[in-house]
DNA sequence: AAACATGTCAACCGCTCCGAG
DNA sequence: CCTCGGAGCGGTTGACATGTT
């Protein structure tokens, strides 16, 4: 029967978002919260499809996003998580507050892959690229080791740190810091927006312990709205 | 300075997942 | 159960930026 497209594309705008569109979307979401994405463009007065709006919001406009390159720690965590989860970018992103799946995916493809290859590590398997006997070999990540099934497993991880380029230590379970997504108001429907104080640091810093000032400065126009 | 190559990343496409009926 | 439709995810594209010749 064929699925209907997420939206009828007739008359819908594509391509880069303008500042005006961003403003409309931010204003709408901050006023009404994230409801049915399909309805958002219409209600917000945007000639975009709902998917596009959701993507723009989650990947770029959300106030809690960090911008800029991933830190070494974040990169390390991405590698470890990738060795466990594979290309499950959204799962990986959920361990890195302020980072989006898209951002991590891009960073993986453009930076980390190269680094690992340079180090002779296959970014897909996290095993050495060549067959030379290597202390750093890691057991292949079983396909079924996806979320909920990765509780106990042996796993070796490769590190980008200079001292330990590749660790083959058997680990009972990779111990990652419990870093859940912050319980930001927007995740719960922005019902209480009036109470938000976007101009102060407390929201961002309290939630994540991460400094968001750079982002605020970079895109100050965005936050003038708040 | 111009032309070309390479890198980066925002955004799109199409698929799967999942909840409602 | 099954079907339908919306949301979300991952792969890919393409425009722009930056580096190299």
The arithmetic mean of pLDDT across residues A50-72, rounded, is 86
Per the domain annotation, does A92 fall within a domain? yes
Q: Based on the fold, state whether residues A76 and A163 are members of the same structural domain.
A: yes
Per the domain annotation, does A14 fall within a domain? no
Burial readout A214-224 (b: 16 or more C-beta within 10 A, e: otherwise): ebbeebeebbe
Per the domain annotation, does A172 fall within a domain? no
Nearest nucleotide to the CA of A6, by C1', is: C6
A4 Cβ within 7 A of any nucleic strand C atom: yes
Q: A30 pLDDT band (50/70/90 cuts)?
A: confident
Number of domains in chain A: 2
For the CA of A1 and the C1' of C1, the distance in angstroms is: 21
Q: Which domain holds residue A113?
A: 72-167
Q: Based on the fold, state whether residues A120 and A46 are members of the same structural domain.
A: no
Degrees, nearest 5: CA angle A162-A174-A133: 55
Q: Based on the fold, state whether residues A97 and A52 are members of the same structural domain.
A: no
Considering just the CA atoms, what is the radius of gyration of chain A in Å?
A: 20
For the CA of A48 and the C1' of C1, the distance in angstroms is: 37
For the CA of A70 and the C1' of C18, the distance in angstroms is: 20
Q: Based on the fold, state whether residues A110 and A86 are members of the same structural domain.
A: yes
Distances from the Cα of A174 to the Cα of A87, A150, A162, A221, angstroms: 17, 9, 20, 41
Q: Based on the fold, state whether residues A44 and A129 are members of the same structural domain.
A: no
Q: Based on the fold, state whether residues A145 and A190 are members of the same structural domain.
A: no
Residue where a domain terminates, one of A167, A194, A216: A167
The arithmetic mean of pLDDT across residues A153-160, rounded, is 42
Ranked by mean pLDDT, the top range of A13-22, A120-129, A147-156 is: A13-22
pLDDT at A130: 62
Per the domain annotation, does A2 fall within a domain? no
pLDDT at A10: 64
Q: In whole numbers, what is the pLDDT of chain A averaged over residues?
A: 64
From CA A169, how far away is CA A157, in angstroms rounded? 8
Per the domain annotation, does A24 fall within a domain? yes
Q: pLDDT of A168-194, one tens digit each? A: 333 333 444 443 333 333 333 333 333
> Which candidate, A72, A60, A40, A146, places its Cα nearest to that of A103?
A60
Q: pLDDT of A100-117, one tens digit each? A: 989 999 898 888 888 888
Q: How many CB atoms lie within 10 A of CB A97?
A: 19
Per the domain annotation, does A39 fall within a domain? yes
Per the domain annotation, does A178 fall within a domain? no
Q: What is the CATH number of the domain that holds A152?
A: 1.10.10.60
Per the domain annotation, does A80 fall within a domain? yes
Residue A72 has pLDDT above 60, yes or no: yes
* Alpha-carbon torsion angle A73, A79, A85, A91, nearest 10: 40
């Amino acid at each position: 029967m064929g699925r209907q497209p997420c939206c009828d594309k007739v008359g819908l705008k594509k391509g880069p978002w303008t500042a005006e569109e961003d403003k409309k979307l931010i204003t709408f979401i901050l006023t009404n919260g994230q409801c049915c994405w399909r309805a958002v463009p219409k209600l917000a007065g945007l000639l975009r499809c709902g998917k596009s709006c959701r993507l723009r919001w989650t990947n770029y406009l959300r106030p809690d996003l960090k911008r800029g390159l991933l830190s070494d720690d974040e990169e390390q965590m991405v590698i470890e998580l990738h060795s466990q989860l594979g290309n499950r970018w959204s799962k990986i992103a959920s361990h890195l507050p302020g980072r989006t799946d898209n951002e991590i995916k891009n960073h993986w493809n453009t930076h980390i892959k190269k680094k690992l290859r340079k180090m002779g590590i296959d970014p897909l398997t996290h095993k050495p690229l060549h067959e030379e006997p290597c202390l750093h070999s890691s057991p292949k990540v079983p396909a079924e080791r996806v979320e909920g099934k990765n509780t106990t497993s042996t796993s070796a991880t490769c590190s980008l740190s200079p001292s330990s380029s590749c660790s083959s230590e058997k680990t009972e379970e990779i111990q990652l810091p419990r870093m859940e997504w912050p319980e930001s108001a927007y995740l719960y429907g922005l019902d209480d927006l009036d109470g938000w104080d976007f101009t102060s640091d407390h929201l961002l810093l309290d939630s994540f312990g991460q400094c968001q000032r750079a982002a605020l400065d970079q895109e100050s126009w965005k936050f003038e709205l708040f």
